[in-house]
Structure formats: C-alpha cells, structure tokens
Amino acid sequence: FLKRTIELIDKYEPELLYFDDTVLPFHELNDVGLQIVAHHYNKSLSRNNGNLHAVVNGKILNEMQRKCMVWDIERGQSNQIEPFTWQTDTCLGNWHYDTRVYENKRYKTAKTVIQTLVDVVSKNGNLLLSVPVKGNGEIDNQELAILEEIGTWMKSNSECIFDTRPWTVFGEGPAIENAPPLSAQGFNEGKGKAFTSQDIRFTSKGSVLYAIVYGWPTNNKLNIESLGTEKKLFRRAINKVELLGNGDCTYQINENNLMIDLPGNTDKEAYALVLKIS
C-alpha cells in the first residue's frame, strides 16, 4: 500500500489525497500514514519553490492529526467554529447514480446545498459535493437544473464564500439551539432544526463582514443581535450595509442589534440573502 501510494504521488503529482477510510492509513499502529503525508507535502514543497500546495483528507482523525491534515466528515455538520480546517462531503443523491432518486425527485435542492455550504464555511469548513453520474458519464436534467441554480446564486454572492474566514461567532438563530455535535465519521446531516429566515451565518474577509440570512424577513426588516453595540463583537464603526446584487440598505444600530431595512423590490423567495457590512 505504501509503495503504491508513493508511486501515485510521484507519477501524477496530485494536490489532494483523499482517504475514504476510518482506520487506514492513519492508525497509530505504524508510521505508514506519516510517511505518506510527509512524502506528499515534501514533493509539493519541492515543486512549488517551498510553498505547500497539497492537502490530505482523512476520517476520524485525532487532534494532533487534524493539525496537519484536513478532517473529513461524511454527511455531517458542526455546531461550532472548528479550531482546525475541516471538510464535509455529501452528495446530491446517493453516492452512486440511482434512478429511483431521479424518478422520485429526491435530490437535494439548490436551497439545501447553498444553505449547507454557507453553514459549513461559517464554521471553518469546506464542502465537497458529489454529483453522481449515469453509466454514460452524463448527469441528468434534474441535477443540471440544481447546479445551474447554485451557479446563479454563486455568480452574485460568491464573495461571501471564497477567500473568507470564520468570524468571531458563526451565526445566530433558532437552528443553533439543538444542532447536534460533530463526532466520529459524521452522519448527522439534516438532524438539526430546519433553517428559517431567523437564522443568520457570518463570514469575514479583511475588514468586511458578511451576514447570510436564510430567508426573507418579515416586513422587510432584519435585526442582527450579534452586531448590537453591547455585544462588542464588531469592533469598528459600521459605515455601509449592502445587499449583494441589489444595492445599499438603510440601517440603524443600538445596544441590542443592527436593524436593516431591506428593499421591497427583490425576490421574497430568496433563501440565502447576503449582506455586506463594512
């Protein structure tokens, strides 16, 4: 196993190695996993003038292993900002193409995928999404429609995802209250409360804070408690609030919350509104 993996690294120079296993090759019984990871990283450093462009994904990693690899959680989500980068892998349907999923229209919706993506990123995570293909290598029309809807959202809102970092808190709202903890292999996907327009997630980029709201609020008015002055979480003056894809919003701030008036001429069915706060 070690020789085959070393040969793969040397021959194909991958940037990412994903081990879909809960024990091998990272069990503490031997140093095979250590040799593989060290070789993968050293080869990357050599190819890239001392810069590391390599990632290793593993499952059920201990705390020490999470410092040097990316912990992969299958169909699972965290209920906190994880101290080390992690990843959840999930699928639009089943892991292999299943005509029953297509016939019964049981794929994840674009709404579910986007809200999951935002939730994971707000907690220092990465989403690996599988799109199962048919035997001829094609995806079906339902999958294509889902991906196109995700692409439309990303076209307007990707800046709240790419090159961002978690904020001081990951969010607020009722879905936080009984979110199951992340453990072992994962498989806690969909076991928490459903997201509503009262749920907000945060990401940040430099001096900019993004607040992603999971639905259109009542009366076009949004209150963000985490940004009240008494919370002392946002340590700069707020000079501008913008709804991505629409324009500037009027707002007021007091000790309890930031109150934002949203424009009334936008899509009330939107399920992930992105506010850029600076």
Q: CATH code at 185? A: 2.60.40.1180
201 & 145 share domain: no
* Full residue range of the structural domain in which residue 40 is found: 2-160
18 lies in some domain: yes
Look at residue 45 in the predicted model and tell me its pLDDT: 98
Domain count, the chain: 2
Mark which of 125, 160, 195 sits at the end of a domain.
160
Question: Is residue 182 predicted with pLDDT exceeding 70?
Answer: no
The model's confidence at residue 126, banded by pLDDT at 50, 70 and 90, is very high
Tell me the CA distances in angstroms from 91 to 59, 62, 106, 132, one per residue in order: 17, 25, 12, 8
- Residues 144, 59 share a domain: yes
How far is C-alpha 174 from the geometric centre of its chain's CA atoms? 19
Average pLDDT over residues 162-186: 80
Write out the two tokens for 84: 């080390």
Query: pLDDT confidence of 185, banded at 50, 70, 90?
Result: low
**Cα→Cα distances 126→123, 136, 154, 253, Å:** 9, 29, 15, 32
The verdict on 16 and 123 lying in the same domain is: yes
Rounded to two decimals, what is the model's pTM?
A: 0.92
Query: Can you give the CATH number for the domain in which 81 is found?
Result: 3.20.20.80
Q: Say whether pLDDT at 144 is over 70.
A: yes
Do 12 and 149 reside in the same domain of the chain? yes
177 and 245 share one domain: yes
- With H, G, I as helix, E, B as strand and everything else as coil, classify residue 27: coil
pLDDT band at 256 (very low <50, low <70, confident <90, very high): very high
Q: At residue 27, does pLDDT exceed 90?
A: no
Q: Is residue 58 part of a domain?
A: yes
**Shared-domain flag, residues 210 and 150:** no
Contact status, residue 75 vs residue 89, Cβ threshold 8 Å: yes
Per-residue pLDDT for 188 more than 70?
no
pLDDT at residue 69 tops 90:
yes
Question: Is the model's pLDDT at 177 over the cut of 70?
Answer: no
Q: What is the pLDDT of residue 174?
A: 85
E-state strands within 131-234: 171-172, 200-205, 208-213, 221-224
pLDDT tens digits, residue range 71-94? 999 998 888 999 999 999 999 999
Is residue 129 domain-resident?
yes
